[in-house]
């Protein structure tokens, strides 16, 4: 191994140590209570050394979020049904991969979807183009469900996906926060909530929720009244 390759490997090792320490501290102590100095102390480096890798604490969080969404994308791809599967089966698999991701990577999930103190991804969306593309593919899968007759015509793809994802997210949040009772299965809860939501949509239940699609949705846009068909969703993933 050459000097350059060794240097790059060592630098990546330190970067990984910073991210692992930051993730642990953010979850245990809360994002707002963690400083660059505290992260540096955890890995026995100076704060100045941390700044040679990341411009700010927010930058560290965004790097963690990028890692998390790449892991989520990888799990979704790994559980994707074979070619030729129905659109509804593909949609189910994509959504249930969110729940399984929450169980395999609970710290990432908490920072990405639960913790309200972390920076908003919507304010830095240009950094997450792959996430925008992933959401568009999810919306396209909903549209395929409509084309195949599994869901009724007239549903907005992005809004429908957000509603379905919310059914899975509720179960995931209960599971990772240990709010389920003895013997209760978070995966079974996610499966049933998703099935009920899909069944309701299939009967023609009208959505009052209307998602805005990043990056078109402005940060801080006011919410419309429920029932107006334009209820604003947070565009955070």
Length of the chain counted residue by residue: 237
- pLDDT tens readout for residues 154-186: 999 989 999 999 999 999 999 999 999 999 999
pLDDT attached to residue 136 = 85
Fold of the 58-202 domain: Tetracycline Repressor; domain 2 (1.10.357)
Tell me which residue has tokens 């949040």.
173
pLDDT attached to residue 124 = 77
CATH 1.10.10.60 holds for 1-54: yes
Confidence of residue 1 (pLDDT cuts 50, 70, 90): low
Confidence of residue 80 (pLDDT cuts 50, 70, 90): confident
Confidence of residue 129 (pLDDT cuts 50, 70, 90): confident
- pLDDT tens readout for residues 90-116: 999 999 999 999 999 999 999 999 988
- pLDDT tens readout for residues 197-215: 999 999 999 999 998 765 5
Arithmetic mean of pLDDT, 110-126? 85
**Arithmetic mean of pLDDT over the chain:** 87
101 vs 224 pLDDT, higher one:
101
Distance, in Å, from the CA atom of 157 to the CA atom of 146, rounded to the nearest integer, reads: 9
pLDDT attached to residue 8 = 85
The DSSP symbol for 184 reads -
* Cβ neighbours for 154, distance < 8 A, ≥ 6 positions apart: none
pLDDT attached to residue 216 = 54
Q: What is the pTM of this model?
A: 0.81
Distance, in Å, from the CA atom of 162 to the CA atom of 91, rounded to the nearest integer, reads: 12
Domains of the chain, residue spans: 1-54, 58-202
Q: Return the number of other C-beta atoms located less than 10 Å from residue 25's C-beta.
A: 19
């Amino acid at each position: 191994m050459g000097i350059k390759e060794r240097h790059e490997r060592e630098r990546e090792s330190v970067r990984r140590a910073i991210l692992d320490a930051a993730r642990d501290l953010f979850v245990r102590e809360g994002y707002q209570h963690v400083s660059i100095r505290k992260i540096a102390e955890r890995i026995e480096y100076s704060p100045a050394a941390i700044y040679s890798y990341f411009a700010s604490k927010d930058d560290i969080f965004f790097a963690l979020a990028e890692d998390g969404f790449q892991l989520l994308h990888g799990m979704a791809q790994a559980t994707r049904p074979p070619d030729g599967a129905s659109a509804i089966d593909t949609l189910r698999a994509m959504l249930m991969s969110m729940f399984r991701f929450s169980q395999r990577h609970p710290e990432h999930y908490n920072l990405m979807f639960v913790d309200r103190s972390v920076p908003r991804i919507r304010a830095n969306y240009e950094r997450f183009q792959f996430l925008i593309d992933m959401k568009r593919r999810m919306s396209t899968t909903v549209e395929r469900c409509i084309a195949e007759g599994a869901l009724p015509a007239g549903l907005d793809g992005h809004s429908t996906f957000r509603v379905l994802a919310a059914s899975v997210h509720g179960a995931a949040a209960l599971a990772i926060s240990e709010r389920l009772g003895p013997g209760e299965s978070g995966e079974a809860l996610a499966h049933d909530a998703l099935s009920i939501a899909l069944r309701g949509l299939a009967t023609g239940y009208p959505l009052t929720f209307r998602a805005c699609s990043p990056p078109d949705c402005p940060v801080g846009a006011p919410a419309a009244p429920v029932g107006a068909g334009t209820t604003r969703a947070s565009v955070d993933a």
